[in-house]
Amino acid sequence: HTYVWRDAPAMARAWAGMTGEGIAMTFSIVDYPHTDATDWACATQAAIAVRRSGAPFAVVASLPELMPEDVARALMAEGVVPLAGLDEALAAAEAAASIAAPDPAPVLLPGSAEATCVLSEVDAKAALAAHGLGVPAHRVASGPEAAAQAAAGLRAPLAVKGLGLAHKTEHGAVRLGLGLGEVAQAARAIGTGAVLIEEMVAGGVAELLVGITRDPAHGFVLTLGAGGVLTEILQDTVSLLVPARPEQIRAALMRLRCAPLLAGYRGKPAADMEAILAAVEAVQAYVVANAATVVEVEVNPLICTPARAVAVDALIRKASDVPDQDQP
């Protein structure tokens, strides 16, 4: 527009050509100088003229310090959006584009009971399974011989985990990919006495983290992210308030960096998205039913296959004085 600079009506006509039906916002990038900004008054006048035509219009300075306060006031008085900085402008546009209608579902208010117990993996999975979460076929046994006998009713490959430890992998209390004849030796090597024997989940295309924590300021917060042993390193997560609707959960999953794995990456099959949504809903259902006592729920990993989504490990922290509500 420099060829018509200082001709505010001509500038307005040029800028108006970049507006129209279906265009939610037009940005004009103008950097006002620190010294005499009089020569830039035509840009302010042109922006105001475009806005008066009914078109949504914003003036963007590439750096915050290049949007004088008096110019910003003049623009706002006429309905023009002044944006101070390119990064800030893009962030504001993204936030505005994400605004939706008010959520009809009320925020789930948590209880105030302190967490006084951590459920065992077996009990945590059972509590979540009662609300519809898929878990592996499993047996619990005490001692190597009993473990071997219990494993006979399962299908290899198997996983054997020591019970009574908060961080089994770090303690070397997990053995994977075992045949039936290897279970007794694995239980003996783990050395915890009681062990959990599970069928391993084959065909996984992605591993997810599904967690819900009690937040004093926001109620319960649902966190979805890349799961497995690298969760802390990858730091690929999104958060929603509980209860979240299926369409919100689906959109959040698609914002993850690991989302291509769910959709089918490099010729691999896609994960069963409906099964994933059902798994997340099962975790939410448990929290809704036990909001007075639950403090934290974490499923990691949720192994996602083309046919199902299965919780391989689970943690629940809650107050111990009230029994779980087993049904949604």
DSSP one-letter code for 280: H
CATH topology assigned to domain 137-199: Dna Ligase; domain 1 (3.30.1490)
Give the span between the Cα atoms of 328 and 326, in whole angstroms: 7
Q: From CA 85, how far away is CA 156, in angstroms rounded? A: 59
Q: Could you give the CA distance from residue 52 to residue 39 in angstroms, rounded to a whole number? A: 22
What share of the chain in percent tops pLDDT 70?
Answer: 95
* H runs (alpha helix) in the chain: 8-16, 41-52, 69-77, 86-97, 121-129, 144-151, 183-190, 231-234, 246-254, 259-263, 273-289
Beta carbons within 8 Å of 316's beta carbon, 6+ residues apart: 118, 119, 123, 124, 127, 128, 294, 296, 297
How much is the average pLDDT of 290-309? 96
Domain chopping of the chain, boundaries: 2-97, 137-199, 203-318
Which tokens is 33 given?
A: 């100088």
CA-CA-CA-CA torsion for 143, 146, 149, 153, nearest 10 degrees? -90
Structural class in CATH, domain 203-318: alpha beta
pLDDT at 170: 75
Task: Give me the pLDDT at residue 168, please.
Answer: 82
**What pairs with residue 237 in β-bridges?**
225
Average pLDDT score over residue span 117-144: 96
Tell me which architecture the domain covering 2-97 has in CATH.
3-Layer(aba) Sandwich (3.40)
Note the pLDDT of residue 189. 95
For residue 241, what pLDDT is reported? 93
What one-character-per-residue DSSP string does 176-214 give? EEE-GGGHHHHHHHH--SEEEEEEPPPS--EEEEEEEEE
Q: Does pTM top 0.85 for this prediction? A: no
- DSSP tag of 163: S
Cβ neighbors of 211 (< 8 A, separation 6 or more) are 222, 223, 296, 297, 298, 299, 300
CA distance linking residue 302 with residue 224, whole number of Å: 10
Report, as an integer, the average pLDDT of 3-15.
91
The confidence score (pLDDT) of residue 134 equals: 98
Query: What are the DSSP calls for 50-78, one per residue?
Result: HHHTT--EEEEESSGGGS-HHHHHHHHHT
Instruction: State the pLDDT at residue 107.
Output: 74
Q: What is the per-residue pLDDT for 39?
A: 82
Q: With CA atoms as reference, report the closest residue to 43 among 81, 78, 7.
A: 7
- pLDDT band with cut points at 50, 70 and 90 for residue 178: very high
Provide φ and ψ at 70, rounded to 5°: -70, -35
pLDDT, mean of residues 254-260: 96
Tell me if 175 sits within 8 A of 169, measured CB to CB.
no
User: What 3-state class would DSSP assign to 127?
Assistant: helix
**CA 170, CA 151: separation in Å to the nearest integer?**
24
Of residues 105 and 80, more confidently modeled: 80
Question: How many CB atoms sit inside 10 A of residue 2's CB?
Answer: 6
Residue 17 has pLDDT above 50, yes or no: yes
Mean pLDDT of 279-296: 96
116-131: average pLDDT:
95
Measured between alpha carbons, how far is 139 from 121 in angstroms, rounded to an integer?
12
